[in-house]
Every structure is written in structure tokens, then in C-alpha cells.
């Protein structure tokens, strides 16, 4: 039986000879840098990941008035609310600013809205609550740049607002004391893709400018790494420095809550990388917010006793299991209902029974599977909430902005966004989004494809190359795990394993080189595998006894 690829393979073009010669790096490594958009004058800084990748915080718009207003609050002993968001980026950003201001003597009140009852961003109910607590200044993190009416409401209640955000602002900015956002059209900041927690750190760097305690801020980089990776912003430029440095601190973290979370997740301190944040730690910290109360994750990250840390980590572990079960149930239900919609340019599906806490995860998985924009909507009696995940060819944030006259609220990024709409306007919104999708996507070939960095023989993967590939980490959005193609590889051995034999282990050989390879998603039987195959794979880690060894993680393969 001839095996064919699951999806179309797309091999990236070779780098120009001038690029390959621009550094002393081996051609394969230079090719990987070229594929990631690293310019020749950026190769050295990308490779060394030193602090020169950091930008001057005062280049961010409104940073000086933000610092002035915060110091005024500190000197006059005003109560300061840190208003965050319920995802990992928002939670870590809230902790970063709260801890930083406490070092400066500030009286800080953290506020993270309820995902279900309040939704993303500022809201009138929260403004009323904070006003009744005697708050004089609200500092937003990871939100606020589109909340014009809510900032006006805060002003009526006698509160000033300093906004720090990383979402794309509207043409008109909220009437705040300061709006610090690198995505503002007038920004002079050299890097526009900071996460919300990254912008929060820049605020503290400005506040601690020329302060002898500035070195303390380095201890917050474990949180910055968590929020940056979990929010799936590009791990290039300044983010590369922040995450790389933050991972070193995370692997020696003094935070009792993180120590306990890592332990209960079955991970090992000292071996945490960006992948563990994406697939293990991030979902657990997100689990609290998906069930409504993200403050549980905030308290975990600030826990001062082992008992508190253990209890909160166990609670997040329980909520994460519930989230996984609920996600699987909703995903199964949605898949059954969208069979007739799968060929449309945009998949839009809504139901009263889709919980707000998991519709984003479901939309994300379906967008990857179908390689097209997916919008999942929780239908309320009066108000509907939608979560959108998209592809590079369709900017969902701009699409929502074109529909703003129909929306109660909205915000997000080109690939991930959310909105609230009155139920009576939902049909019109769906029609407009479908029209936008048709006009922008119908003429494109957007079939799922597998992007490959380079075609190589297995013998290229020698010790020097393997060490250099590892130096490209941390991997993530914008700097993906390198993916290679090797043709005509001999299958020396093959067998299935797992509870139902759903996984595949192969021993592969080529030109006197042998590798162990695994395919955890193939669903293929060992006896079906031909003697020679073409493989697409990434390098992974496994264990041989107590020794850690490299292996090939197969992404796809076909008959040679």
C-alpha cells in the first residue's frame, strides 16, 4: 500500500548565496535564520540573545506622563488598582506591576474581571466597584486600549486611568492619563510585538529608571516568560531576550506557587522550556480564568506559604482536568454540527451550550485542522460572546473592526480575537464576516500545508549541527521548531505502542546513520509501513535508561 502525505508539503526556498556567506555559521543554520526573517545585520544579536535586544522604555508612547501620574499617586498615597485580564498574559502582567509598585511603597489592589460575567477589558460594573473602594488611579495591563466609554466612566467616578496594552488601538484613543502601547501609529519603540506582560515590565523599567533597586526587576522575568510564551506573540527581537532570560530564572524560581505547579504537573525544575509553558504550565494557569475566577492563578503566583501554594496548585490541576473534559465534549459537538459548513471560507458556529471558557480553545483547534478562520459563539438571551481564531491570510481583528457598528465590544490580534454582540445583530454580523471572508479568501489556495525548513540527508545531523540548532531556542511563534525533510529513508524496524497501539515507533537508517523516530498521531499499523519512506520531522528529546537522547518526532511521512 502506497502511503501519501496527510497534507501538502511546502519546502521553503533556499537562501541567497550572499546571505549564506554573511556569517560563519554552517549553511543549514544560516538557512534556518533566513527562514525566520532574520536580517544579515540581526544575525549576531539573534544568536547571542544579549540585552541589546531590549528597547528604551521611554520610546514607548506616553511613557513619561504614565510615570509622572503613577509617581503622583505613590507620593499622595492614593490607592492604585491594577486591572488585568483573565489569561496567562494578563495574570502575569498584573502580578508584575503589583509587585513592582509594592517595592515603591504603593497601596495596590489587583483586579481581574470574571470571564463569564464581565468579559475582556474594562467594564462599567468594575469601574463602580473600584470607585467604591476609594481607588484614585487604575493601571490597566493587557487591556484597555479600546475601552473609550469605560475610561470616560472611570473619570466621572473620580479615577484616572493609565493604560498599558499591546493590542491594536482604534483610530481614537481612550481619554486616559496615558496610553502606553507599542502598536500606536505614533510609537517610536523599535519592537511592536511585546506581550501585555512585556509592556508591563517596560513600565516598571521606566518607573525604576536610575533607581538602585532596578536590578530587582530581573527577578520578574520568570513571569514575563510565562505570559509572553502563553500569549503566542513572536519569539523574536526583544521577546527572544525576555523569554530566554526568563526561562533561566523560571528554572531556578523562588516562587512557591510555580514550584508547586511544576511539581504537580509532572515537570522538573531545571528542564522547563517554552514548550512546557505552552502545553503544560500555561493551560493550568489559564484554567482558573476559564472557569470564571482567574484570581486563583494570581494568588498562586504570589503565594507566601507552602500550604497555600500546594492547595492552589491542586485546585488549578483539578480545574484543568475539568477544562480538558469540557473542551473535548464541546469540540466533538461542534465537529458534528459544522460538517456542512466545512467548505465555507469562514466557519461560524453558535449554541447556548458552548461555555465561554472553552470556545477559544475549540476555535483554535478547528482553525488549525481546517486552515481557515473559525468563530465559535456562546448564544446568550440578549448578548452573545464569540471567540475567533484565524490564519495569516485573514486578519480577524481588522475584520471585526469593519463590523464595529454591530458590536458591543471587541478586541484582539490578527490571528485571535473576541467580541460581544447583541443577539438581534448576530445574523447580520455573521453575514458581514462571511462576505469579508469570501472576498479575501475565495481566490486563494488555503489548503492545510506543512512548512519545511530544508531538505537534508540524516547524516547532516551531526553533533555540531545539533548543538547549533538547540541554540536557536526558545522556539515558538515566529521562531518555530525547525522542520526537516529527508527522502528515501530505510525503515529498519517498526512497531506500534500505546494503550490501543495508536502510536508508532520506527528505527530509521540512511547512509550508515541510524535514528529512533516516533509518530504519535499516525494511526498507522507497523505492518503497513513500506521499506523506504520520505519523512518530515522535528528533533525531540527522549530517554534511553537514565540518559537523555535526541530522536526524530515525525510530523508526516509517505512512501519514498
CATH number at residue 354: 3.10.310.30
Residue 268 is predicted with a pLDDT of: 92
Same domain, 75 and 210: yes
Q: Strand 160-164 relative to strand 178-180: parallel, antiparallel, unpaired?
A: parallel
Same domain, 435 and 458: no
Total domains in the chain come to 3
Same domain, 137 and 165: yes
244: region left, alpha or beta (phi > 0 left; psi from -120 to 50 alpha): alpha
313 domain-assigned: no
Helix (H) or strand (E) holding 494: strand 484-497
Residue 160 contacts residue 153 (beta carbons within 8 Å): no
Among residues 219, 236, 269, the one where a domain terminates is 219
Based on the number of CB atoms within 10 Å of its own CB, is 356 exposed (0-12), middle (13-18) or buried (19 or more)? buried
Residue 97 contacts residue 227 (beta carbons within 8 Å): no
Same domain, 43 and 133: no
Residue 264 is predicted with a pLDDT of: 93
Q: If you write DSSP's letter for every residue of 319-353 in order, what string do you get?
A: HHHHHHHHHHHHHHHHHHHSTTTTTSSSEEEEETT
Q: What is the mean pLDDT of residues 146-150?
A: 93
458 domain-assigned: yes
Q: At what angle do helices 306-337 and 282-290 cross, to 10 degrees?
A: 80
* Most confident option among 205-209, 369-373, 515-519: 205-209
Same domain, 389 and 517: no
* Dist. CA 151–CA 160, nearest whole Å: 8
Based on the number of CB atoms within 10 Å of its own CB, is 49 exposed (0-12), middle (13-18) or buried (19 or more)? middle
Q: What is the mean pLDDT of residues 405-415?
A: 89
Could you tell me which residues come within 8 angstroms of residue 199 by beta carbon, excluding any fewer than 6 positions away?
60, 93, 141, 142, 164, 165, 166, 180, 181, 182
By C-alpha distance, which of 31, 472, 473 is closest to 278?
473
Residue 265 is predicted with a pLDDT of: 95
193 domain-assigned: yes
Q: At what angle do helices 221-230 and 196-207 cross, to 10 degrees?
A: 150
- CA distances to 450, 493, 512, 517, 531 from 508, rounded to whole Å, are 21, 7, 10, 7, 10
Question: Greater confidence, 447 or 135?
Answer: 135
Residue 29 is predicted with a pLDDT of: 96
Band of the pLDDT at 337, cuts 50, 70, 90? very high
329 domain-assigned: no
Residue 403 is predicted with a pLDDT of: 95
CB atoms within 10 A of CB 67: 20
Give the N- to C-terminal CA distance of the chain in Å, as an integer.
12
Band of the pLDDT at 543, cuts 50, 70, 90? low
Please identify which residue in the block is written with the cell numbers 507497523: 526
Residue 546 is predicted with a pLDDT of: 66
Same domain, 41 and 63: no
Beta strand segments in 227-365, E: 347-351
Same domain, 110 and 196: yes
Same domain, 345 and 369: yes
By C-alpha distance, which of 126, 140, 236, 138 is closest to 190?
236
311 domain-assigned: no
Among residues 414, 441, 468, the one where a domain terminates is 441
Residue 545 is predicted with a pLDDT of: 62
Residue 530 contacts residue 491 (beta carbons within 8 Å): yes
330 domain-assigned: no
DSSP state, 473?
A: P
Please identify which residue in the block is written with the cell numbers 480575537: 417
Of 65-69, 107-111, 295-299, 520-524, minimum mean pLDDT range? 520-524
Cell numbers found for residue 300: 498562586
Residue 123 contacts residue 85 (beta carbons within 8 Å): no
* Dist. CA 294–CA 287, nearest whole Å: 8
Band of the pLDDT at 180, cuts 50, 70, 90? very high
DSSP state, 84?
A: -
Residue 498 is predicted with a pLDDT of: 76
By C-alpha distance, which of 93, 94, 84, 150 is closest to 114?
84
Q: What is the mean pLDDT of residues 87-96?
A: 96
Which CATH number is 486's domain given?
A: 2.40.50.460
Helix (H) or strand (E) holding 517: strand 513-519
* Dist. CA 183–CA 191, nearest whole Å: 9
* Dist. CA 542–CA 535, nearest whole Å: 19
Q: Strand 107-111 relative to strand 547-559: parallel, antiparallel, unpaired?
A: unpaired
309 domain-assigned: no
Which CATH number is 155's domain given?
A: 3.90.1640.30
* Dist. CA 135–CA 148, nearest whole Å: 19
294: region left, alpha or beta (phi > 0 left; psi from -120 to 50 alpha): alpha
SS3 label, residue 199: helix
Band of the pLDDT at 291, cuts 50, 70, 90? low
273 domain-assigned: no
By C-alpha distance, which of 180, 259, 222 is closest to 92?
222
Same domain, 409 and 461: no
Structural domain span for residue 32: 8-48+450-559
Same domain, 70 and 26: no
Among residues 188, 219, 250, the one where a domain terminates is 219
Same domain, 84 and 130: yes
Same domain, 154 and 209: yes
Average model confidence (pLDDT) for the chain?
93
Amino acid at each position: 500500500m502506497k502511503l501519501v502525505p496527510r497534507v501538502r508539503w511546502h519546502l521553503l526556498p533556499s537562501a541567497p548565496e550572499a546571505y549564506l556567506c554573511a556569517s560563519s555559521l554552517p549553511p543549514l543554520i544560516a538557512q534556518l535564520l533566513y527562514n525566520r526573517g532574520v536580517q544579515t545585520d540581526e544575525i549576531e544579536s539573534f544568536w547571542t540573545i544579549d540585552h541589546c535586544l531590549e528597547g528604551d522604555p521611554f520610546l514607548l508612547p506616553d511613557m513619561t506622563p504614565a510615570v509622572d501620574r503613577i509617581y503622583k499617586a505613590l507620593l499622595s498615597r492614593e490607592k492604585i488598582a491594577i486591572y488585568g485580564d483573565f489569561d496567562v498574559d494578563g495574570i502575569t502582567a498584573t502580578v508584575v506591576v503589583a509587585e513592582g509598585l509594592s517595592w515603591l511603597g504603593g497601596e495596590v489592589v489587583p483586579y481581574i474581571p470574571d470571564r463569564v460575567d464581565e468579559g475582556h477589558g474594562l467594564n462599567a460594573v468594575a469601574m463602580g466597584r473600584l470607585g467604591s473602594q476609594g481607588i484614585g488611579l487604575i493601571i490597566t495591563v493587557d487591556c484597555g486600549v479600546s475601552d473609550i466609554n469605560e475610561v470616560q466612566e472611570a473619570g466621572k467616578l473620580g479615577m484616572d486611568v493609565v493604560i498599558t496594552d499591546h493590542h491594536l488601538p482604534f483610530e481614537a484613543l481612550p481619554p486616559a492619563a496615558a496610553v502606553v502601547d507599542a502598536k500606536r501609529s505614533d510609537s517610536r519603540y523599535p519592537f511592536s510585538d511585546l506581550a501585555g506582560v512585556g509592556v508591563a515590565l517596560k513600565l516598571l523599567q521606566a518607573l525604576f529608571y536610575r533607581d538602585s533597586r532596578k536590578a530587582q526587576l530581573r527577578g520578574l522575568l520568570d513571569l514575563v516568560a510565562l505570559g509572553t510564551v502563553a500569549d503566542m506573540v513572536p519569539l523574536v527581537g526583544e521577546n527572544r531576550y525576555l523569554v530566554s532570560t526568563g526561562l533561566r530564572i523560571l528554572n531556578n524560581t523562588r516562587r512557591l506557587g510555580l514550584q508547586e505547579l511544576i511539581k504537580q504537573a509532572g515537570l522538573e525544575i531545571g528542564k522547563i522550556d517554552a514548550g512546557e509553558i505552552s502545553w503544560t504550565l500555561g493551560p493550568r494557569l489559564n484554567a482558573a480564568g476559564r472557569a470564571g475566577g482567574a484570581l486563583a492563578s494570581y494568588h498562586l503566583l504570589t503565594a507566601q506559604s507552602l500550604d497555600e501554594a500546594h492547595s492552589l496548585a491542586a485546585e488549578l490541576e483539578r480545574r484543568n482536568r475539568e477544562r480538558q473534559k469540557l473542551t473535548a465534549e464541546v469540540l466533538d459537538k461542534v465537529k458534528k454540527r459544522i460538517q456542512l459548513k466545512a467548505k465555507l471560507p469562514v466557519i461560524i458556529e453558535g449554541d447556548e451550550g458552548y461555555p465561554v471558557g472553552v470556545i477559544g480553545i475549540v476555535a483554535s483547534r478547528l482553525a488549525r485542522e481546517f486552515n481557515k478562520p473559525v468563530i465559535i459563539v456562546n448564544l446568550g438571551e440578549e448578548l452573545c460572546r464569540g471567540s475567533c481564531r484565524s490564519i495569516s491570510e485573514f486578519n480577524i481583528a481588522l475584520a471585526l473592526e469593519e463590523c464595529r457598528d454591530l458590536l458591543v465590544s471587541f478586541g484582539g490580534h490578527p490571528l485571535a480575537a473576541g467580541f460581544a454582540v447583541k443577539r438581534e445583530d448576530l445574523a447580520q454580523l455573521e453575514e458581514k464576516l462571511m462576505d469579508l471572508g469570501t472576498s479575501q479568501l475565495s481566490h486563494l489556495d488555503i489548503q492545510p500545508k506543512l512548512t519545511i525548513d530544508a531538505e537534508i540527508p540524516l547524516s547532516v545531523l551531526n553533533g555540531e549541527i545539533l548543538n547549533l540548532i538547540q541554540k536557536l531556542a526558545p522556539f515558538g511563534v515566529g521562531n518555530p521548531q525547525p522542520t526537516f525533510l529527508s527522502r528515501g529513508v530505510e525503515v529498519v524496524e517498526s512497531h506500534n505502542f500505546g494503550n490501543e497501539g495508536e502510536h508508532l515507533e520506527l528505527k530509521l537508517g540512511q547512509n550508515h546513520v541510524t535514528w529512533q523516530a516516533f509518530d504519535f498521531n499516525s494511526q498507522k499499523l507497523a505492518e503497513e509501513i513500506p521499506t523506504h519512506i520520505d519523512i518530515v520531522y522535528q528533533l525531540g528529546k527522549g530517554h534511553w535508561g537514565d540518559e537523555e537522547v535526541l530522536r526524530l518526532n515525525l510530523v508526516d511521512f509517505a512512501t519514498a
